[in-house]
């Protein structure tokens, strides 16, 4: 149920943070990996680590905000491996400003990456998944899929939207044996939130105080959910939004 031997997972933003955490889990379960991101040097370092686990790894340059770039990435992955069993549409960015100060082009940049990107990626892998008889798509939401954050107008809008997009894909592609689920990370220690902690005063302590687990998450916390959602153990699980948050989203009071 958790054996991914011979499978191929394509992970956007797989060269660091949560994406690399998921890649490690999948590689340990036997999957081959395609890492797709903008920074090829960073991707190559991540790839070497994953090869050490035993995975065949391909590194592909992509800007997920560019539809043609996503098409090229998908074609190159299929040329190398002949199949894509799992897409993890993970690449994401945030621009933190109060909504009244966010420039229109900043709003568009975040939407292009976080919402249009997963749309292009899902559309690009669909024909191969359908032809091979099934597949798994994992999108990445956020606590901002559930809660408002005063500094995250565009980001939270994309993360709410990605959950709805996930539900739509799940309903549309169930007939093709493609399961589509979203993971909602809590507050995770990555480059994204290292910047946030320098920009948003008191954030580090507030997260620790509010999270029942009493700590920030780390990329290793995403290995297990990736293996579950990429494997046959989740074949009747689709359209969900699963928090991986140390209890943040259920903390009352
Ligand atoms: P990181 O900044 O560590 O990773 C982001 C990744 O996305 C990088 O690998 C980056 O690679 C890639 N990326 C960014 N823009 C593009 C682009 N246009 N095209 C291709 N790749 C791109 O952040 P996280 O690991 O924290 O974030 C991963 C996902 O998890 C995001 O969707 C984020 O919103 C989400 N998330 C994170 C949380 C956290 O607390 N950390 C909480 C909730 C959600 P490169 O620069 O090489 O392109």
CB neighbourhood size of 97 (10 A): 17
Of 17, 89, 145, which is best to mutate to test ligand 1, by the most ligand atoms within 8 angstroms of its C-beta?
17
Tell me how far the alpha carbon of residue 170 lies from the centroid of ligand 1, in angstroms. 23
Domain boundaries, the chain: 8-187+219-244
Per-residue pLDDT of the chain (253 residues; tens, 9 = 90+): 999 999 999 999 999 999 999 999 999 999 999 999 999 999 999 999 999 999 999 999 999 999 999 999 999 999 999 999 999 999 999 999 999 999 999 999 999 999 999 999 999 999 999 999 999 999 999 999 999 999 999 999 999 999 999 999 999 999 999 999 999 999 999 999 998 898 888 999 999 999 999 999 999 999 999 999 999 999 999 999 999 999 999 999 7
In a mutational test of the pocket of ligand 1, which residue from 11, 44, 160, 190 has the highest number of ligand atoms less than 8 Å from its CB?
A: 190
pTM of this prediction exceeds 0.75: yes
Let me know: does 148 contact 142? Beta carbons within 8 Å: no
Query: 248 catalytic, yes or no?
Result: no
Check if the beta carbon of residue 24 is closer than 8 Å to that of residue 53: yes
Instruction: Give ligand 1 pocket residues (Cβ under 6 A).
Output: 12-13, 15-19, 37-39, 42, 62-65, 90-93, 113, 140, 142, 185, 187-188, 190-193
On whether the 8-187+219-244 domain is CATH 3.30.1300.10, my answer is no
């Amino acid at each position: 149920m958790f054996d991914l031997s011979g499978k191929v997972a394509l992970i956007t933003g797989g060269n660091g943070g949560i994406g690399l955490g998921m890649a490690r889990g999948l590689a340990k379960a036997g999957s081959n990996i395609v890492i797709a991101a903008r920074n090829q040097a960073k991707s190559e370092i991540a790839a070497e680590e994953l090869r050490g686990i035993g995975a065949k790894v391909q590194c592909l340059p992509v800007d997920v905000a560019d539809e043609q770039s996503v098409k090229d990435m998908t074609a190159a992955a299929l040329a190398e491996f002949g199949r894509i069993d799992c897409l993890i549409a993970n690449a994401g960015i945030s621009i933190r400003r109060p909504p009244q100060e966010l420039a229109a082009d900043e709003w568009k940049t975040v939407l292009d990456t976080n919402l249009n990107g997963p749309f292009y990626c899902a559309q690009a892998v669909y024909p191969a998944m359908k032809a091979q008889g099934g597949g798994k798509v994992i999108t990445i939401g956020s606590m901002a899929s559930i809660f408002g954050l005063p500094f995250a107008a565009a980001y939270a809008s994309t993360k709410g939207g990605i959950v709805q997009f996930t539900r739509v894909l799940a309903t549309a592609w169930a007939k093709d044996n493609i399961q589509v689920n979203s993971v909602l990370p809590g507050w995770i220690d990555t480059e994204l939130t290292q910047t946030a902690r320098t920009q948003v005063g008191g954030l580090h302590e507030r997260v620790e105080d509010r999270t029942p687990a009493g700590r920030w998450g780390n990329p290793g916390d995403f290995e297990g959910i990736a293996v579950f959602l990429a494997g046959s153990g989740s074949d009747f699980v689709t359209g969900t939004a699963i928090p991986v948050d140390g209890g943040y989203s259920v903390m009352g009071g």
